[in-house]
Structure 1
Amino acid sequence: MDSRDLRVSDAEREHVGQLLQRAVGQGMLSLGEFTERMDTVLAAKTRADVNQVLIDLPGIQLRPEYLRQMQAQYAPAQPPMTGPPPVAGAPVAGAPVIRGRMSNISRKGRWEVPPMLQIDTRMSTVVLDFTEAVMQTQVVNVHVNDYLGSITLVVPAEATADVNGIDPVASSTNSKVRSGPPFGPLHLVVTGRLRFSALTVRHPIGTALRQFLR
């Protein structure tokens, strides 16, 4: 069997997602193209399906021998996939998860931010402050799954955000930051589902005043 016809693993999907983030940061992909290609990655069944999203990106096409090495390193005992492929917009397997049930959750100061982060909360208040955080990548994907809660994402003054991937039901989504292409220290791509919830992306209090005084 050709290596391109082998089933793709969750570790490979996560790695391809990181490569696509890097391509966005280098200006090779727009945010719309990034979203479309991530949908393809999440629904991919074989390595050929995954490789097609990288084939036109210079220098980062996955080679079959590298895929074998990566699978041996990250998922040596993983059995073949038997269930249906992930649906578009689903969280990426292996990404760190912030969970809460009727809780107050806060991250601030110099906390480490992974390239992909999931928020899975019910009836909770979540505040993630990225202003002093240590980022591994310029583009950070945040996947939310919240019910009857409140999520606030505080980003640095020059940061941008894309919240168009949110699926709200009886919820509010409010981004008070620019949504243009990544050019500052951080670009958040927020996706997922809100049910009777509120999500806000904003700068620290007083940012507008400080910029005006300068």
Structure 2
Amino acid sequence: MTLQNRVTPWGEIVAAPARGRLMGNRGRLHGPDKRLGKARWRGKAWISCVLDFKERHREVMAKQSYTELFFSDEAVAIAAGHRPCAECRRVAFLRFRAAMARAFPELGPAPRAADMDMLLHAARTSDAPRARVRPFDLPRGAFCEGPGGEALLIWDGSAWRWSFGGYTPFSLDPARERDVLTPAPFLAALNHGCGLDLQPDLSGKVDD
């Protein structure tokens, strides 16, 4: 059975056979049958983790455990609203925290994870319409929505169409505004030097 645990740049959790390059969680969302209920988050600490850490082994969607979610890469993870884990991705977490401190001085020079999570969760659950900007005004690693509803990664002045199989180049009008998928606090972090720890594969090859 293909489990419903792959995450799109819209933050949706879907069933797909593609492998992920990062794992994360939003709490326990599944039942004993390893199927998701109606909830799409439990708690405010949405994180992304490495796949291999200290030789730990987990049964995916085990009873009384959190629901393991999988992302194509870190750009997808942050578009879906997941920050780096403070344990298994310590270096990425510290870089993200420093960028958040620069972007949001009210958090202090070394923000607590819980304080950042409060700010991030408010943006994820806001009912406000998505921001619209010219696509190439977005920072490297951000996503916007294309004219046909595609998820488009912006990277060094180019647009790339995302799918679970990989990225392909996409021609985009630079003057026309598009809906932004990456939540505003993550955009701010990218604009303040966060960068991506696990960069997308832009070879243009798509898996069958």
TM-score, normalising length from structure 1?
Answer: 0.24
Q: Relative contact order: is structure 1 or structure 2 higher (C-alpha 8 Å, sep ≥ 6)?
A: 2
TM-score, normalising length from structure 2?
Answer: 0.24
Write 1 or 2 for the structure with the bigger share of strand: 1
Larger Rg: 1
